[in-house]
Amino acid sequence: MFAMVIAALVYICLPWYIQSAVWLVNLFIPDPVPFLDGIIMFVPIAYKIKRIFDISEFLGKYGIVLAVLLGIGIIALTVCLTIR
């Protein structure tokens, strides 16, 4: 039981592409309850993919503003460190 909890925590922390590979392999392993673990394993993958789309949508909307602000911050930090 403890090993299963640790395995689940490790699985959740993996990147989405490794989770996808593990999920695909798991689809072909015989289980006592077919498809239930596949559905459970797909939930973190779907959540991570949704977050990637949300972040890319946000950057598409505000990317230029963030880049300008970051550039201004870097210039201000450079000027501040050069003056001292």
State how far the Cα of 84 lies from the Cα of 62, in Å rounded to an integer.
Answer: 33
State how far the Cα of 45 lies from the Cα of 16, in Å rounded to an integer.
Answer: 5
Query: What is the per-residue pLDDT for 42?
Result: 86
Could you give the number of structural domains in the chain? 1
Domain extent, residue 73, equals 2-83
CA atoms within 13 A of residue 81's CA, in its CB half-sphere: 6
23-78 pLDDT tens trace? 888 888 887 777 777 888 888 888 888 888 888 888 888 888 888 888 888 888 88
* Helix, strand, or coil (residue 24): helix
Contact 11, 44 (CB under 8 A): yes
Question: Is the pTM value of this prediction over 0.75?
Answer: no
Give the pLDDT band (50/70/90) at residue 16: confident
Residues in Cβ contact with 52 at an 8 Å cutoff, skipping those fewer than 6 apart: 16
